[in-house]
Amino acid sequence: MKVYIACDHRGVDLKEFLKNQLKKDYEIIESSIPNNPEDDYPDFAFNIGKLMDKNSDKAVLICGTGIGISIAANKVKRLRCGRVLSAEDAKLARSHNDCNAIAIPASLPQEEALAIVKVFLETEKSDLEKHKRRVNKIISYEEGTYNEL
């Protein structure tokens, strides 16, 4: 599995830690945009969204709070990004919502962030019909074919 990772200037230390830990088990691909003190989180979310295969790859996105980069990521068609703060959030984002990306805050302790990311990467999407139905509604909305109830 390819795991894409990107951050704005506030997440560089955490990104480097995660990248070094995860490369033992995954193919890690960084954003092609270099970090600098004045960079902007949307650029990284959009770059990863353009690079990754949304059907098979996963992404870990980092900004100061994880909120801004998750909002930007969710503007990319077929990218479903949940902002997560715990392993339980990561598990549910993946299993219930078929998220192919998570956003975390740069302030998370490194080992805690690693545990969260590992849960996300190791969790399978749910086969329950209700979860499939809900995700398919999101996809159909993106495609312009959603029919309101």
Tokens linked to 92: 């549910």
Give how far Cα 126 sits from Cα of 19, 99, 123, Å.
Answer: 27, 11, 9
List the catalytic residue out of 7, 9, 81, 96: 96
List the catalytic residue out of 63, 81, 99, 131: 63
Q: Is 96 a catalytic residue?
A: yes
For 31-136, where are the E strands, in sequence order? 58-63, 81-83, 101-105
How long, in residues, is the chain?
A: 149
8, 70 contact by CB (below 8 A)? no
Q: Is 131 a catalytic residue?
A: no
Q: At 105, phi and psi to the nearest 5? A: -75, 145
Would the CA dihedral through 14, 16, 19, 22 be positive or negative? negative
Which residues carry out catalysis? 63, 96
